[in-house]
Amino acid sequence: MPLVRISVPSGKRAEYLKAISDGVHQALVEIFKIPADDLFQIITEHIPATQLVRPKRYLGIDYSDDLMVIQITANDTRTVEQKKALYKGIAERLSKSPGVRTQDILINLVEVKKENWSFGNGEAQYA
């Protein structure tokens, strides 16, 4: 736990993708206090305006073609304050490296019960 899906615009360099991966993981380790070796991420690329359908503006936020979506599936154990800190921590890290506009970082947290995980061997390790 957690499982992180990161969808980014196509054509980004490997260094950019690594910085995104590292920034999200660092925030989870520091703010959600996950173990450092708990690193499960799926990174996909999309073509802006065709494979990621979204408005140009929502809730007063203007998006560019660099909009990325970060979906985190994690155990339902965090407070609202911890969640807010995570969103802010991810945005701060990614704005520093690789330089993503904070307006272009959409984060979705999906919370599940601990028994909803199997990390292998057909076992529910957290149940």
What are 52-98's pLDDT values in tens digits?
889 999 999 999 999 999 999 999 999 999 999 999 999 999 999 99
Q: In the chain, what are the helix, strand and coil shares in percent, each to the nearest 5?
A: 30, 30, 40
Query: How many alpha carbons lie under 13 Å from residue 113 in its C-beta half-sphere?
Result: 4
Secondary structure (3-state) at 116: helix
Secondary structure (3-state) at 99: coil
Domain 3-114, CATH? 3.30.429.10
The most distant pair of C-alpha atoms in the chain lies apart, rounded to whole Å, by: 46
What are 24-63's pLDDT values in tens digits?
999 999 999 999 999 999 999 998 777 888 999 999 999 9
Q: Which residues are catalytic?
A: 2
Cα gap 38→7, rounded to integer Å: 20
